[in-house]
Amino acid sequence: MNGLDISRDYFISAALPSLHVRFPKLLPRLAAGLVGNGSECFGFDDEISRDHDWGADFFLWLPEELAAHIPELTVWKRELLELSPPKQPRTRSEYGARVAVSTVGDFYRSLIGVPRAPETLNEWINAPEENLAMTVNGDVFMDNDGAFSDVRRTLLDFYPEDLRLKRMSYCCMSMAQTGQYNFARSMRRGDVMAARSALSLFSDSAITLAFLLNKTYRPYYKWRARALRSLPLLSPEIAGDLLLLSDSSISGNESLLSAAVERVCALCAAALSAADLASPPDSFMTAHGEALRAKISNKTLRQLPAQYNI
């Protein structure tokens, strides 16, 4: 029982017929769906998810010029949920995401700071990646006006290529510093906490690189490993070693874990080469980071150090 499926079924069976009757003139301008915050929007909800902020619900989105109709549509939706309740009504916690009626622009602004897809490099940089992931997840049940889906399609095209290259470059540098360099040095010092932090940062950088290779926004930390499994490029090859790095005791396993780090780096280097992005012969990931930086067209981005994250 998936929250997205029951929400879609409820909208089609109960909400849409009511909208036809109550708002026949508005309906051609409306969009509806379940997108954004929540495990069900990523399709990751399970029995554990159902204790809060879970159940049938839907957004309604209007163009900006029809914002004056939000109050009456909000009242209609509340009455619909009360008079024709879904079999699995949505529970709401104090800090849970609000599934409401809003304009298209206000919905996107609430997640990425602008009422449309970012247009400038700064707008792209300032949009949190986990929020970008929330703009393109879930499902649009209806979009009669088309405005909501127009923005969504642009966002699905992913980052400008120069920004993607810059962030991939940083991932390579981070993998080299944390996994290939500082993990072993921390172990030689007997600093197990620093070594564990190094492996954690290494794994996160490798995961991020996989998402960037697949041109897919990385969700927030809770769902990154889960979402990694669905990526076609690189993730099937590195998933096992990343699990080993997170699930193994450090003490007494330095050689085992260092070997896993090197395998992940070799696989990432091979994936970059296959994508014609970077193919230095050096297995140390700094070489790949610098090769990626050299491909950046934007002078300002290219001049930033490869290890500088944006």
Distance CA 10, CA 84 (A): 10
Q: What average pLDDT does the structure give for the chain? A: 95
CB 265 within 8 A of CB 286: no
Local confidence band at 53 (pLDDT 50, 70, 90 cut-offs): confident
Whether 226 has a pLDDT exceeding 80, the answer reads yes
pLDDT at residue 304, as a whole number? 93
Please report, for residues 185, 203, 310, the alpha-carbon distance to residue 256 in angstroms, rounded to integers and kept in the order given. 15, 15, 32
Has residue 299 been placed in a domain?
yes
93 and 34 co-located in one domain? yes
pLDDT at residue 46, as a whole number? 85
Whether 240 has a pLDDT exceeding 90, the answer reads yes
More confident residue, 255 or 47: 255
DSSP per residue, 174-204:
HHIIIIIIIHHHHHHHT-HHHHHHHHHHHHH
E runs forming strands in the chain: 31-34, 59-62, 101-103, 139-143
212 and 124 co-located in one domain? no
172 and 61 co-located in one domain? no
Has residue 123 been placed in a domain?
yes
pLDDT at residue 103, as a whole number? 98
Whether 4 has a pLDDT exceeding 90, the answer reads yes
pLDDT at residue 118, as a whole number? 98
112 and 176 co-located in one domain? no
Average pLDDT over every residue of 281-290: 93
167 and 111 co-located in one domain? no
Of 157, 160, 133, nearest to 301 by C-alpha is 160
Q: Which of these three, 100, 121, 156, is where a domain ends?
A: 156
pLDDT at residue 45, as a whole number? 84
Local confidence band at 44 (pLDDT 50, 70, 90 cut-offs): very high
Has residue 308 been placed in a domain?
no
202 and 270 co-located in one domain? yes
7 and 152 co-located in one domain? yes
Has residue 249 been placed in a domain?
yes
Has residue 309 been placed in a domain?
no
Average pLDDT over every residue of 55-71: 97
Please report, for residues 43, 70, 156, the alpha-carbon distance to residue 122 in angstroms, rounded to integers and kept in the order given. 31, 31, 18
299 and 175 co-located in one domain? yes
Whether 1 has a pLDDT exceeding 80, the answer reads no
- Percent of the chain's residues with pLDDT above 70: 100
Has residue 204 been placed in a domain?
yes
36 and 115 co-located in one domain? yes
- Could you give the number of structural domains in the chain? 2
Asked which of 196-205, 244-253, 260-269 is least confident by mean pLDDT, the reply is 244-253
245 and 286 co-located in one domain? yes
Q: Which of these three, 124, 156, 188, is where a domain ends?
A: 156
Of 22, 80, 31, 74, nearest to 56 by C-alpha is 80
Whether 47 has a pLDDT exceeding 90, the answer reads no
More confident residue, 99 or 212: 212
pLDDT at residue 98, as a whole number? 83
Distance CA 202, CA 187 (A): 15
Q: Which helix (H) or strand (E) holds 16?
A: helix 16-22
Has residue 45 been placed in a domain?
yes
- Percent of the chain's residues with pLDDT above 90: 87
Helix, strand, coil: what percent of the chain each, to 5? 60, 5, 30
Can you give the CATH number for the domain in which 293 is found? 1.20.120
- Residue span of the structural domain in which 56 resides: 3-156
Grouping H, G, I as helix, E, B as strand and the rest as coil, residue 34 is strand
118 and 254 co-located in one domain? no
Q: Which of these three, 103, 134, 156, is where a domain ends?
A: 156
CB 108 within 8 A of CB 146: no
21 and 139 co-located in one domain? yes
